[in-house]
Amino acid sequence: MLAEKYADRIQKIFAKYPDRRSGIMDLLYLAQEEYGWLTEQALEEVAALCDVDPTQAHSIAGFYTMYSEKPKGKYWLQVCTDLPCALRGADDFYAALCEFLGVEDGGTTEDGLFTVEQVMCLAACDKAPMLQCNFHYHENLDMEKMKAQIEQWRAEAAQPEQPEDERP
């Protein structure tokens, strides 16, 4: 349960806003961080915390593309393949990435670690190919760099869970 596990963080979130329902977006991010994606239970928990109907939480999660209501890997790799990035080879990079991980476009690896996805502009065209992993940017990529990074993530995931720190 979010309410028990993250009591302090939730307190800080609510302190930022005049009323509880305004904290809903921050809490949805928190829930997504905790559960990997927004399960119906997560939506219900967040709605209860914000004192709104679960349908309203569902609606907000559905509107914004940075929330996911579908199962996602621990590392959610969003590669920009819009035109300027494609001109710098982003689409080839994306195809190579999919092949390396052995997944289809939009798929999740069998070990549940990685989900790949093409997205629209992330406002880093000059540093393409680039991707966003759990909302952190990785820029000027090629497959060499990427393979090293993926190894690092795999190693990280094998470690026992670290204590939570603030989401930047």
Partner 1 sequence: MTDTVTITIDGQDFEVPKGMNLVDAAKLHGIGIPVFCYHPKLDPVGMCRMCLVELGNVAIDRTTGAPELDEQGNPVIRWFPKLQTACTQTVSQGMVLRTTSDMVVEGRENILEFLLTSHPLDCPVCDKGGECPLQNLTMAYGPGESRFIYDDKIRLAKHVPLGKLIYLDRERCIQCARCTRFCDEIVGDDVLAFHERGRRLQIVTISDPPFDTKFSGNTTDICPVGALTTTDFRFGARPWELTEVSTICPYCPVGCNLNASTRMDREFGGKAMIKRIMPRQNERVNEIWICDKGRFGHHHSRHEERLLAPLMRNKSGELVEVEWPAVYKAIAKQLKAHGDQAGFVGDSTLSNEDLWELRRLAELSGGSPRLGLWPATMSGGDVVAQVGVGSETRLQDLGPGSVILVMASDFEEEAPIWWLQVKQAADRGAKVVVANARPTKLDRYASAVIHYRYDEAVGVLNSFTAPLLSGDGQLGQGNGWGALQSDLQNAEVTHADTANLLASAENLVIFLGSEGLTLEQHAELMQAAANLLIVSGHVGRPNNGLIPVWPGANVQGAWDMGFSAEATADLLANPPALWVIGGADVAGEDIRMATALEQAEFVVVTAQFMTPTAAHADIVLPRQSFAERAGTYTNGLRRVQRFYPAQGPIGDALPDWKIFAHVSAQMGGPRPPVAAGTIFRDIAQRVERYIGMDYTRLAWFEPQFPDVGGDDLYYGGTAYSNYGGLGLQWPAEAEAEQPQFSVRPVRTAAPQTDGLTLVPVWVLFDRGHLFEKSELMHHRMPQPYAAFNPDDAARLGLTDGDRVTLAVEGHELTVTAQVGDDNPAGAVLLPRRLSGDATLSTPAACTVQKIESMQKVEG
Site for partner 1, rule CB under 8 A? 40, 43, 52-56, 58-59, 62-63
46 within 8 A of 6, measured Cβ to Cβ: no
Residue showing tokens 């621990």: 74
Residue written as token pair 């709104």: 52
CB of 59 to partner 1, least distance (A): 3
Q: Which is nearer to partner 1, 20 or 138 (CB)?
A: 20
For residue 103, the Cα-to-chain-centroid distance in whole angstroms is 18
The nearer residue to partner 1, 62 or 102, going by C-beta atoms, is 62
CB of 60 to partner 1, least distance (A): 8
Residue closer to partner 1 by CB (options 58, 88) is 58
Minimum Å distance from CB 41 to partner 1?
11
Least distance (Å) between residue 55 CB and partner 1: 5
CB of 26 to partner 1, least distance (A): 19
Comparing CB distances to partner 1, the nearer of 56 and 109 is 56
Give me the sign of the Cα torsion angle 66, 60, 2, 8: positive
Please give the single-letter amino acid code of residue 89: G
C-alpha closest to that of 147 among 109, 93, 108 = 93
Phi, psi of 147 (to 5 degrees): -60, -40
Rank residues 64 and 137 by Cβ distance to partner 1 and give the closer one: 64
| Helix, coil or strand: residue 124 | coil
